[in-house]
Structures are given as C-alpha cells and as structure tokens.
Homo-oligomer: A and B are copies of this chain.
Amino acid sequence: MAQNIYDNPDFFAGYSQLPRQVEGLDGAPEWPAIRALLPELTGRRLADLGCGFGWATRWFRDQGASSVLGLDLSQNMIERARTDTEDAGIEYRIADLETLELPEAAFDLVYSALTFHYVRDFERLIRMIHAALAPGGDLVFTIEHPIFMAAAHPRWTLDEDGRKTWPVNGYSIEGERRTDWFAKGVLKHHRTLATTINTLIGAGFELHWMEEFAPMPEQIAEIPELSEELERPMMLLVSAQKR
C-alpha cells in the first residue's frame, strides 16, 4: 500500500492551506496548461485518480462529462470531497493506486494531478489504465518533474553569480525519495523522464504532448515569486492516447 501521508494530521493541516486547495483550480499556476491538454469532455466518462477535495472532479462535470469517478487514498480528502459535492454523476471512492483495478474499456479519459509520483509500481498502474480506457481514450496527467525530485537534497542553492540554481544528482538512480513537506519523510518514487514516457509507449499509448511547466509572463507579472519556476521545471504534464 502507498504511504497515506494525506491522513497524517500535521500534513493534512498544512496541505489544506495551499492556495490550490483553498482557491481550487485557479490557485494552481499549471491549470491553464493542463486545460490546453484536455480533450473534449462533453458526454465522456472520466476517472480522476488522486482527486483530493474534488476540485477538478466537479469541474469536469461542469464541462459536460457524463460521469466522473474520483478516487483518493485519503479518507480526509474523500470525506471533504463528498461534503462539497452534490452531483449524482460523481462518485468518490477511497482507493490505493498501487492495487487499484478498474473495469475494462469503461472510461474515455483518465486524469491524474500530482499523484503518480507517489506510486511505486508505475508500469502496473499504466497498463491497468490502458485496459480501463476505451479505444482512442485519453490519459492526461501531471507529476513532479524528475529534475525536481532526483537530488538527495532538492532545494535552491546559488551559483557563483548568485543565481537561483537547482541541484541534480542521482538522476539515473530510480526509486524512493524522502522529503520533509508538511511532515517528515514524505515518500515519493523517482523515475527518469525517459522511464515515464517509455512506460506509456510500452503499454500501448501514443504520446501526444508533454509540458515541463513554466509560468507565462502574465502569471509572473501577477505573482513575481513564480519567476523561479523558469530556472528548473517542477512539474511534468503529459497527454497520451490509447491506440
């Protein structure tokens, strides 16, 4: 079973105060870039893996999705999502992506935001998602970028000119990474970018697009702290289609 850090009280208290949790989708600077990757949603059957409070889950329905299944490991998140949602077209369920099985060819789009880097067995998950998609179905997901995750001490340093610089080491050595983020020892699984993409291709997906998220100039004008995101990508966005 994946580490259930989101039900750790300290973690949950801190995490719940993030702008993206308080303000919803518009609190996430990468949201416009994600929207650009999404296919037409009207009448489509969706699964949202790692749905959290259900911000995207509800948005999908607003865009005309016929049904959305929202799954999350965290009981805290699912309870809050259920409280915030009144919609017979949405079902929330507690589920562990390490062992999740979905019915075959039952979905037109599988979506996941910042969740897959918590999953140890990525290949199993991707093959299961491929089987759960109808032919021509889409997979759109975001993860922490491996440049952001790889190093033993992933935090800003300064180069000899005083420029914000991100350290990379251990990039080719895949496996567990533990960081302190609202709680000690949050467990993530580092994979190279090539492994992520080749796993999709090997499972029968065709890669449609990828983004190494960088803020737009107008986003930096509004939130100057975002400019540091130009120095190294924190997130990888991927769109792929079942062949």
The CA-CA distance from A157 to B159 in the complex, in Å, is: 10
Given A172-B233, A206-B206, A230-B172, A165:B163 Cβ within 8 A: no
**A217-238 near B? 1/0 per residue, CB < 8 Å:** 0000000000001111100000
**A42-76 near B? 1/0 per residue, CB < 8 Å:** 00000000000000000000000000000000000
Is A212 within 8 A of B171, CB to CB?
Answer: yes
CB distance from A164 to the nearest CB of B (A): 6
Is B210 within 8 A of A171, CB to CB?
Answer: no
Is B210 within 8 A of A168, CB to CB?
Answer: no
Residues of B within 8 A of A194 (CB): 210-212
Residues of B within 8 A of A165 (CB): 151, 167-169
The CA-CA distance from A210 to B202 in the complex, in Å, is: 12
Query: For chain A, what secondary structure do more than half of its interface residues adopt (helix, strand, loop), or is it mixed?
Result: mixed
Question: Is A186 interfacial (CB-CB < 8 Å)?
Answer: no
The CA-CA distance from A55 to B27 in the complex, in Å, is: 54
- Interface size class, chain A: 35 or more
Question: Is A34 interfacial (CB-CB < 8 Å)?
Answer: no
Question: Is A181 interfacial (CB-CB < 8 Å)?
Answer: no
Given A193-B193, A211-B194, A171:B147 Cβ within 8 A: yes
Question: Is A198 interfacial (CB-CB < 8 Å)?
Answer: yes
Residue from B163, B168, B214, B230 within 8 A of A147 (CB atoms): B168
Is B233 within 8 A of A171, CB to CB?
Answer: yes
Is A210 within 8 A of B232, CB to CB?
Answer: no
The CA-CA distance from A153 to B159 in the complex, in Å, is: 8
CB distance from A29 to the nearest CB of B (A): 13
Is A230 within 8 A of B170, CB to CB?
Answer: yes
Is B159 within 8 A of A169, CB to CB?
Answer: yes
Contacts A167-B167, A172-B231, A194-B210 known; 5 new A-B pairs at CB < 8 A: A151-B165, A153-B161, A167-B168, A171-B212, A201-B209
9 A-B contacts (beta carbon < 8 Å): A153-B159, A153-B161, A159-B167, A168-B232, A169-B231, A169-B232, A171-B212, A192-B212, A197-B197
